Amino acid sequence: MLLAIDVGNTNIVAGIFSEEAPPKTSELIASFRMSTDKTKTSDEIGMMMLQFLSLEGIQKSQINDIIISSVVPPLMHTLGNSCRRYIGKEPYIVGQDVMPAINIKYDNPKEVGADRIVNAVAARAKYGAPLIVVDFGTATTFCAIDKNGDYIGGIISAGIKISMDALFEKAAKLPRIEIVKPSTVIGTNTVSSMQSGAVYGYVGQVEYIVARIKEELNEPDCKVVATGGLASLIAQHTETIDIVDRMLTLDGLNIISTSRSTQTPEFYQNAQKP
């Protein structure tokens, strides 16, 4: 079995994939998430991983590989120690130990977050190219993949929760709100007005940015795939998003790990260590 771990700024999401012999595709059989806390020790994280495995009836000896994608470098030493001590496996780190063979046309490819690369690999493998990947995480990111399957670049903007937290912290009279769809676009009180700004404001952002990306790609019909915690909420209110795939990042980690073990050239190449 494969333990795939995606370390984000807000949450750590982990999934267990069944072990299947090629050409069969392994399946996600269990997943869990925990808050990203840089103060947790390797023992605390390790015990939480063992508890999760136990709840799912999985022995740590059944885990053959661990692969990690992270945008939180300070947590990697702790997480690596957790994997080694409590699971007994050395994890593979995307961007350090393994790198999917996708042509990244960023000015500096090393600046592209591992999560964005993994999302691009998964979306390209599952839905083809060209396409646009929108990830509603701590930041909202837009990634453009052209018809050749090359990663062209994208956009990074403040995430929905960050924006609402900033309003609460910087505006004395504005409350902290739950991010849900208001009954009308025109708010009739402070809470509904803020909710309308959160939901419909980001719907407008998605529609405008996606339209401009399609124009620059010269691909008006390319697919738009959304992932992240609030993807479903935003997708309900726009026809711009074609597919919501909440497990896109974990699937990408599974694809990269499988390709590493089978040495499939389409998705994997040895990472060049400094």
pLDDT digits (tens, 9 = 90+) for 115-155: 999 999 999 999 999 999 999 988 999 999 999 999 999 99
First and final C-alpha spacing in the chain: 30
Select which of 115, 135, 146, 251 is catalytic.
Answer: 115
From 3.30.420.40, 2.60.40.10, 3.40.250.10, 3.20.20.70, which CATH number describes the 109-249 domain?
Answer: 3.30.420.40
The pTM assigned to this predicted structure is 0.86
Q: What pLDDT, in 10s, does the model give residues 166-201? A: 888 888 788 888 888 888 899 889 999 989 988 999
Bridging pattern class, strands 131-136 and 223-228? parallel
Q: Where are the domains of the chain?
A: 2-93, 109-249
Rounded CA-CA distance 167/192 in Å is 14
43 carries an active-site annotation: no
In angstroms and rounded to an integer, the radius of gyration of the C-alpha atoms of the chain is 19
Q: Is 3.40.630.30 the CATH number for 2-93?
A: no
- Backbone φ and ψ for 119, nearest 5 degrees, come out as -60, -45
